[in-house]
Amino acid sequence: MTLLSQLPLLLCTLLNSFFYQRISEVVRLAGSLIFILLLFILTAILVKIPMEEDRFFSVTMATIWFINSFGAVLQGSLFGLVGQLPQQYSAVFMSGQGLAGTFAAIAMLISIAGDTDLESTALGYFITPCVGTLVTLISYLLLPRLEFAQFYLDRNRSNEVETTGVLLNGKVGGRYESSICAQCQ
């Protein structure tokens, strides 16, 4: 299970670093969240469908692979998004990452302490991330409507466009800078 979670995490993090400029941030973030949500829904449905243990195990391992693949793209893209905000939000983001791990550990302890059947426990395990992923997707889609987020995201986009113009053709605010043009040629 560790191999099936860490290997796609590594591979997709590397791919994300190569393709982050070719695929928009919205597509990477919202797309990853949608695919993760669909995979958790699929797994939750499969809990209620009678099937052989080996087949359920195989399907679950495959979903672990794909969830971690999309999770790597999501996490890399989120770090890029948080990097556009003031520095103190990076610490809050990292604390949220730790809180998610703590939440998973508490859920495991509750399921061990509880006296429910395995099917109900598994269903709870897979419905909980469905709810969390849905809330995250809705929050991300509402983020651009916040005045605070608009200020920082728009400011960074305009800086990015200007920097790209300077690097490609030496233009700053519609004029050419001779020292930059000399370096570009």
The mean pLDDT of 84-108, rounded to a whole number, is: 83
According to the model, what pLDDT value does residue 183 have?
A: 42
According to the model, what pLDDT value does residue 17 have?
A: 80
Element (H, E) at 171: strand 171-172
The answer, yes or no, to whether residue 179 has pLDDT greater than 60, is: no
Q: Which residues pair with 176 in a beta bridge?
A: 171
According to the model, what pLDDT value does residue 177 have?
A: 47
Out of 7-21, 41-55, 89-103, 115-129, the most confident range is 41-55
The mean pLDDT of 158-178, rounded to a whole number, is: 53
Interval 17-76: pLDDT, tens:
887 778 888 899 999 999 999 999 998 898 888 888 888 888 888 988 999 899 889 988
According to the model, what pLDDT value does residue 126 have?
A: 83
According to the model, what pLDDT value does residue 33 have?
A: 94
Tell me which residue has tokens 């679950």.
60
According to the model, what pLDDT value does residue 35 have?
A: 95
DSSP SS3 for 175: strand
According to the model, what pLDDT value does residue 34 have?
A: 96
Interval 147-160: pLDDT, tens:
887 888 777 665 55
The rounded distance, in Å, linking the Cα atoms of 170 and 182 is: 9
According to the model, what pLDDT value does residue 160 have?
A: 56
Least confidently predicted of 43-57, 102-116, 126-140: 102-116
Residue 41 CB coordination number (10 Å) = 16
DSSP SS3 for 173: coil
Stronger pLDDT, 16 or 176, i.e. the higher one = 16
- Averaged pLDDT of the chain: 80
Element (H, E) at 5: helix 2-19
Contact 146, 80 (CB under 8 A): no
Least confidently predicted of 26-35, 41-50, 106-115, 166-175: 166-175
